[in-house]
Chain A
Amino acid sequence: DIQMTQSPSSLSASVGASVTMTCRASQSVTNFLNWYQQKPGKAPELLIYFTSKLQSGVPSRFSGSGSGTDFTLTISNLQPEDFATYFCQQSYRTPYTFGQGTKLEIK
């Protein structure tokens, strides 16, 4: 199975700041990398698919980049509603494994 490792496991930032979190795959997943946001008590929501494609309705302050094994999710101009846990997932080869998550907290 392809292992997905996210870093950091948590980070804190202020409203208006920009943050970047990373996701590393144990082998190449080409560009089949997705990002999800999950708020407490809610189902996850798809933010970005295929590394950098923004899901419909997702604000443009979210962006993704990378290829192969290394990927990043950047959130610019953080808003209060962005404080949540973020998961990456590879959809290159089944099982479509997830990273362990990065929890973004308010500073």
Chain B
Amino acid sequence: QVQLAESGGGLVEPGGSLRLSCEVSGVTFSDHYMTWIRQAPGKGLEWVSYMNSRGDTVDYADSVKGRFTISRDNARASLFLQMNSLGVEDTALYYCARSHEYGGVDYWGQGTLVTVSS
């Protein structure tokens, strides 16, 4: 079955950086758009970024544009999110998800927690 496993979260000081990873199995990774979605503690869902299957089309939420960079390695079936200039507002559980053909997401990882605090 399709499995997504995020890693790389942790505690970081404001202004710091983190790189999240997501390993995908059970599906031909290179066939699918992929998405990052985050959820602040006790809050709703926020779409963060997506990348097409070839890795040549990306988009970002305005809240992260210029600070976050999405990338993928199809040979390793992995998705990444480089996060720079982190602020307390970036504290959230970050989910990696497979994009559905109609634009939603149909498979999710369990998330990796990013905490930005001094």
Contact = CB atoms under 8 A, between A and B. Distances in A.
- Answer yes or no: are A and B bound together in one complex: yes
A71 interface: no
A55 B100 CA distance: 10
A96 B44 contact: no
Interface string B93-104: 001000010111
B45 interface: yes
A1 B109 CA distance: 26
A43 interface: yes
A1 B106 contact: no
Given A1-B62, A95-B62, A98-B44, A46 B111 contact: no
- Of the four ranges (under 10, 10 to 19, 20 to 34, 35 or more), the interface on chain A belongs to 20 to 34
B108 A89 contact: no
| Most chain A beta-carbon contacts within 10 A, residue among B45, B95, B110, B111 | B45
A92 interface: yes
A92 B104 CA distance: 10
Contacts of A34: 100, 102-104
B46 interface: yes
- Of the four ranges (under 10, 10 to 19, 20 to 34, 35 or more), the interface on chain B belongs to 20 to 34
Contacts of A94: 47, 50, 59
Nearest to A94: B59
A20 B108 CA distance: 26
A100 B105 CA distance: 17
B11 interface: no
Contacts of A91: 100, 102-104
Given A87-B45, A89-B104, A96-B104, 19 more contacts: A1-B62, A34-B104, A36-B104, A43-B109, A44-B95, A45-B108, A49-B104, A53-B102, A87-B44, A91-B102, A91-B104, A95-B59, A95-B60, A95-B62, A96-B50, A98-B44, A98-B47, A100-B44, A101-B45
